[in-house]
Structure 1
Amino acid sequence: MSEKIQYIPIAQPWLGEAEAEAARRAILSGWVTQGPEVAAFEQEFATYVGANYACAVANCTTALHLALLAVGVKPEDEVITVSHSFIATANSIRYCGAIPVFVDIEPQTYNINPVLIEDAISERTRAIVLVHQMGMPCDLKSILEIAHCYELPVIEDAACAIASEILWDGQWEKIGKPHGDIACFSFHPRKVITTGDGGMITTNNPQWDEQFRLWRQHGMSVPDTLRHGAKQVIFESYPMLGYNYRMTDIQAAVGREQLKRLPEIVERRRYLAQRYHHQLADIPGLKLPTEPAWAKSNWQSYCVRLPESCDRQRVMQVMLDAGISTRRGIMCAHREPAYEVESWLCGSDLTESEQAQDHAMILPLFHQMTEQEQDCVVEVLKTVC
């Protein structure tokens, strides 16, 4: 084995002096909650993805919640989505009092299987929430054809998919444009760029964007920036039930610097993913992630399916003993204790979702990862498999 590596994390955010200085700038400005840095971050993010509007919020879960409210999801409505996702996807539907209807995934991409959606639609279906799982774009064209036929809004859970791309009418376009109705992003440290935590909602609908901005700040009729800068006394009102879903200016200042790093981060992740493809291709029975010809992933995660003969827990333990951190495949919400009591429906058999959770494993991948570290991961995985 090559020179011993002390520890290889599953992920590591790329933060430096630029982000520290940005946070310092916001702190010393005296305006640390939602303010001018948030407004600038929103504009820069909208420009980057090609959306008309971007609204910053506290995290992606709150983004999904507001997106569902905006398209009119109410208690006892049904929302088609996948169980094979972080539990926040299903939870955001339950926050509205609605019922998630789970359909299965494609085993190659770990994304919702469009073929199964139509059979899951009922009279109570109000929306489709698709997940660009681990940064791999969904088959948006197939999904949107079904959604348009039934006049259903499409919300993209793009938590992992900042800078991922899809081939659209002959042009490569970024996830978040949006191609559906609303797209929701996460800036958790596990994602490609981070603000510590935080989220963003993109849309081309001005009414929805206006609604997001009211809801995220308690339904307040006058934003803080306007009230504090006014030359006359202004009394705000609260015409609707709102939420405290704001992003701070400290976070946004960091996000603006992270956005500058994004092209370099994604270029590096794509390079490392190709190295994994090449070096792991000869392990018998190991299934590597598939990138369709019409998609470009940001490779937020690199997920492999272990040979059936492998005991995943043993493989993960051997790798951890060698100083290499891994994670199990994406969870299935319907298998969690919370959903033994929460309402949900099954829109299809969920065999592929369960198989992916049981046999998939996520390998380390992050911008600062060296080739030596990656070679170490490959060497140990080959040995244990």
Structure 2
Amino acid sequence: MERISVMKPWLAEAEAEAVIDVIASGWVAQGPRTAAFEAAFAAHQQVAHAVATSSCTTALHLALKVAGVQAGDDVVVPSFSFIATANAPTYLGARPVFADVEAATGNVTVDTVRAVLTAKTTAVIAVDQGGMPLDLQPLRELCDERGLALIEDAACAAGSTYRGAPAGKGADVTAWSFHPRKLLTTGEGGMLTTDNSAWAERARKLREHAMDLSAAQRHSATLAPQESYGEIGYNFRMTDLQAAMGLVQLGKLDEMVQRRRQLASRYQQAFANVPGLRCVADPEYGTSNFQSFWIHIGPEFGKDREQLLAQLAEDGISARRGIMAAHLQPAYAGHSGLLAPLPVTEQLAAATLILPLYHQLAEHEQDRVIASVLSPVLSTAAGA
């Protein structure tokens, strides 16, 4: 029986040809393809500026830096997120302060953020978890009222929408991921987007050791001018090999979102009336790209999360435990940023499961997943 993976990137000949063209050009580091990818991504996301980076983590790092976060500051983050969300402020010497999330979306809310604000809070990182858009406007109002930078971790959200616009548009600065588990992939890589011209310009310099001349400026000159380094910077660059892939992937993004939403709808219909199963679903204010399709497993289902994972594995299906709780990881054991209980975070981290969902998933394969998930229910019904 062929194994069904939890995720597969949708890569084809066009991506390979794009990379071959870059190799043939002789310019494989950050250069013209990267600039083209930045311009195309900014246009797609309806923002003024996009700055390509080596990962979403480095994009978050730069976002905090240009937003003015410093050592000793507090930055509100969800614990219910990949650990990089908490790590980014830690790299700058700031303290990640963990906020709880709502059960329906797995995202922070204005109330969960407000509950953990401190006198030292200078920024909030709000995550679109698994591609599920967060309710940004109430957070926008809170941050404006308190003078806080609002940073959106949209690692999973390319193709998601919020109130009719692309996700990430309303934050001060947004970070994106192009890891292979995301819809749009460059292998590794990330992007920072913002409407703040000064922040974008500083991010461009900081990603390249804070050099005052870009690689394009240096290499276009026969006698290159002397560069200068105004502050301590980083090597957070994207290569043109990655950017070439990204341009092709961006052209396929809308098709990817449409297909994933069709598959998500099939899951939702199959599990709609199953006691103890709750599917992730669009909130009233936006649409998800369903980067991850997760289900919440309640006690009425008859099997817990670990038992269902084992059942799926036995049937040749690779699923994953749901999103982690960073505050429960050894790296943050005893961390001072746990200022309030996180009951929803801990409950979701213990009882959610991510099912296979990717562009090439055939309906007969999805039917296998559905049958495996429902097998405890069907066996109970048969024995009744």
Q: TM-score, normalised by structure 2?
A: 0.96
Q: CA deviation at 1:384?
A: 3.0
Amino acid at match of 2:77: T
Q: Distance in 2 between matches of 1:310 and 1:96?
A: 43
* 1:126 to 1:344, Cα distance in 2 relative to 1, 3 A: same
Using the TM superposition, name which of 128-137 and 286-295 deviates more: 286-295
Verify: 1:229 aligned to 2:238, yes or no: no
Task: Give, in angstroms, the shift of residue 231 of structure 1.
Answer: 4.3
Instruction: Tell me which residue corresponds to 1:78.
Output: 74
Q: Supply the distance in 2 between the matched residues of 1:268 and 1:344 (Cα, whole angstroms).
A: 43
Q: Which residue does 1:339 correspond to in 2?
A: 332
Secondary structure class of the residue paired with 1:287: strand
Aligned ranges 1:196-207 → 2 under 5 Å: 196-207=187-198
2-structure distance, mates of 1:347, 1:127: 16
Q: Does 1:182 align with 2:178?
A: no
The residue number in structure 2 matching 1:318 is: 311
CA distance in 2, matches of 1:110, 1:264: 25
Q: Does the aligned pair in 2 maintain the 1:102–1:345 contact within 8 Å?
A: yes
Residue 120 of structure 1: CA displacement?
Answer: 1.5
Cα deviations across residues 85-126 of structure 1 (Å, max 9, x unaligned)? 000000001001010111111001111132122231121000
| Contact 1:111–1:138 (CA under 8 A) maintained in structure 2 | yes
Q: Could you report, residue by residue, the CA deviation over 1:134-178 in whole angstroms, capped at 9, with x for unpaired residues?
A: 0001110111111111111100000000010011xxxx10013x2
Identify the residue that residue 320 of structure 2 maps to in structure 1: 327
Q: Is the 8 A contact 1:102 1:344 kept in 2?
A: no
Residues 135-284 of structure 1: pairs in structure 2 closer than 5 A: 135-167=131-163, 172-176=164-168, 178-284=169-275
Q: CA deviation at 1:291?
A: 1.5
- Residue in structure 1 matched with residue 98 of structure 2 by the alignment: 102
Q: Which residue of 1 aligns with 2:355?
A: 363
* Cα separation, 2, equivalents of 1:251 and 1:290: 32
CA distance in 2, matches of 1:301, 1:375: 18
Q: Distance in 2 between matches of 1:361 and 1:174?
A: 27
Are the counterparts in 2 of residues 27 and 250 from structure 1 also a CA contact under 8 Å?
yes
Q: In structure 2, what is the Cα distance between the partners aligned to 1:31 and 1:347? A: 49
Specify the code of the residue in structure 1 equivalent to 2:333: E
1:380 and 2:372 matched: yes
Give 2:125's match in structure 1, choosing from 129, 136, 151.
Answer: 129
Deviation at 1:256, TM superposition (A): 0.2
Q: After TM superposition, which residue ranges in structure 1, 4 or more long, deviate above 4 angstroms? A: none
Q: Counterpart in 2 of 1:65?
A: 61
* Conservation of the 8 A alpha-carbon contact between 1:116 and 1:348: no
Partners of 2:56 and 2:176 within 8 A in 1:
yes
1:50: Cα distance to partner? Answer: 0.3
RMSD: 1.1
Distance across 2 between alignment mates of 1:119 and 1:351: 14
Question: Could you tell me the TM-score, scaled by structure 1's length?
Answer: 0.95
TM alignment of 1:2-13, pairs within 5 A: 5-13=1-9
Give the Cα–Cα distance (whole angstroms) in 2 for the partners of residues 316 and 248 of structure 1.
38
Structure 2 residue runs without a partner (length 5+): 378-384
Aligned length: 375
SS at 1:208 equivalent: helix
